[in-house]
Each structure stands twice: as structure tokens, then as C-alpha cells.
């Protein structure tokens, strides 16, 4: 009997800790640089001595969560930013007051930071651009998972919705009206579904009334709404 040699993946714990140490050092230093603040200024604001802050930056002293919260308040970031890089995704779409989801011009698409509690690889971000509307400027997040396209709890909720391939083919002459929308998915008394503007309570367009479930590809409720400026300035 021949026993084949198997390559073992050995984790160098010491090296792993060293890498994490370097990363944490770089993060705190980067946050200070972005704020245009020095170690001395941070120390004075927190009421701590400069040596302590210097040890934090060099990672020769561990930063407790309590201290991370205080640092985050001063630097206008999330406490988790002290320990690991920000979670970012590309913002490609915005929503007008009429419920239509529109793609930004290529040059206007950019990376945005996502709250840690809502981030995952399938999250989709849409920015609200509706001057005068209370949600103007907000970022709305949606779960876009191929395995769960039509969420069971979608009916009666504000959702990101797309038409099925069959529906698009049936209405190919009205292709512009088959683009993604965000609206309230409402069940009607005749057993059909309607996608209505949450403000006007009317169908977003003529194709958004008398729908069957199979007419929709994605129907996923809003996962979270937040003001990116306020969230990352006040996060604790």
C-alpha cells in the first residue's frame, strides 16, 4: 500500500498576529491622517496622555472597545473602523421620486461605505435623489440573492422589483417601462399585485398593475435605510 504525501496548510500564528498588528497600526494612522489630526490632538481631546495614543498607533497596547467608541466619536467613523477596513460597495443607481431606478453615469459611480451590520456580498445600494422628500440623500439597501428572488415577506412592503424575462418579452415594445423600480408591492382585491408609488399610492406606470407573481423576477424589501453622512459621523 502506498501512502501519498499530503501538503498541509500550516498557519503561522505568530506571523498572522504580526500582520493583524501592522493592519491595525495602518488603520488608526490612516484615520488620523484622513481627519487631519495628530496623535497629540487625539490624546488631548480624549483626555489621555500622548504615550498611550502612540502605543495604540504602534499597536503595542490593545485598544478596548470602550476606547474605540471614544476614538470613533472624535474621528467621525465607526468603532469597527479602528480594527478592520471599511466595507465598501459601488453605488451605481439612484431613485427618483417617481419610483424609477436609474443608473448613474459611469463617471458618477463611486464606492460607498456600508454599515457593518448590513454588509454582505449580495447587498445592493440605491441612493434617493428626490429634493423635498424626507428621504432625499439616503442610501437604501436590498438583498439581491439569486436563490431567493421573490421574498415571501415582499407583499405589503417597499421593495426593489424587476420584471421577469417572460414579462419583458411580452411587453418588449414598452421596454423602458420594464426597468427596475422601487415601490410598495400591494395585493389587490382581485388577487393581482400592483407596484405603487408610496407617495401617490398609484401604480408607478401602466405595467405596474394587475401583476402575477411570475411577472416579477426580483421582489426584495428594503433591508436598511440610512443617511451616509449622519451615520458615519455619529456611529458609536
Which tens digits make up the pLDDT trace of 71-100?
A: 999 998 888 888 888 788 999 999 998 999
From 22-36, 92-106, 192-206, the region with the lowest mean pLDDT: 22-36
**CATH (domain of 31):** 1.10.260.40
Is the pLDDT at 221 greater than 90? The verdict is yes
Structural domain boundaries, residue 119: 88-137+225-234
C-alpha grid cell for residue 118? 448590513
Q: Are 121 and 163 contained in the same domain? A: no
Question: What are the tens digits of pLDDT across the range 99-136?
Answer: 999 999 999 999 998 888 888 888 999 999 988 888 89
Whether the Cβ atoms of residue 160 and residue 126 lie closer than 8 Å to each other: yes
Residue 3 within any structural domain of the chain? no
Residue 72 within any structural domain of the chain? yes
Q: Are 229 and 118 contained in the same domain? A: yes
Average pLDDT over the chain reads 84
Residue 212 within any structural domain of the chain? yes
Of 35, 59, 82, the residue at which a domain comes to its end is 82
- As for how many domains the chain has, the answer is 3
Q: Are 20 and 74 contained in the same domain? A: yes
Residue 208 within any structural domain of the chain? yes
Amino acid at each position: 500500500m502506498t501512502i501519498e504525501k499530503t501538503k498541509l496548510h500550516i498557519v503561522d500564528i505568530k506571523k498572522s498576529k504580526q500582520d493583524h498588528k501592522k493592519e491595525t497600526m495602518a488603520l488608526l494612522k490612516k484615520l488620523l491622517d484622513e481627519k487631519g489630526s495628530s496623535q497629540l490632538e487625539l490624546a488631548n481631546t480624549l483626555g489621555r496622555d500622548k504615550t498611550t495614543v502612540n502605543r495604540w498607533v504602534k499597536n503595542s497596547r490593545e485598544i478596548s472597545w470602550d476606547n474605540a467608541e471614544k476614538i470613533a466619536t472624535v474621528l467621525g467613523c465607526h468603532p469597527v473602523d479602528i480594527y478592520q477596513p471599511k466595507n465598501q460597495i459601488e453605488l451605481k443607481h439612484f431613485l427618483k421620486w417617481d419610483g424609477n431606478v436609474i443608473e448613474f453615469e459611469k463617471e458618477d459611480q463611486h464606492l460607498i461605505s456600508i454599515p457593518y451590520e448590513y454588509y454582505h456580498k449580495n447587498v445592493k445600494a440605491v441612493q434617493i435623489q428626490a429634493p423635498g422628500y424626507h428621504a432625499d440623500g439616503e442610501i437604501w439597501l436590498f438583498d439581491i440573492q439569486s436563490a431567493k428572488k421573490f421574498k415571501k415577506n415582499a407583499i405589503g412592503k417597499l421593495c426593489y422589483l424587476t420584471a421577469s424575462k417572460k414579462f419583458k418579452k411580452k411587453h418588449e415594445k414598452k421596454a423602458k417601462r420594464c426597468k427596475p423600480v422601487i415601490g410598495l408591492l400591494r395585493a389587490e382585491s382581485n388577487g393581482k399585485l400592483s407596484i405603487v408609488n408610496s407617495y401617490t399610492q398609484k401604480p408607478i406606470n401602466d405595467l405596474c398593475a394587475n401583476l402575477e407573481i411570475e411577472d416579477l423576477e426580483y421582489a426584495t424589501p428594503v433591508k436598511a435605510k440610512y443617511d451616509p453622512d449622519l451615520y458615519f459621523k455619529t456611529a458609536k
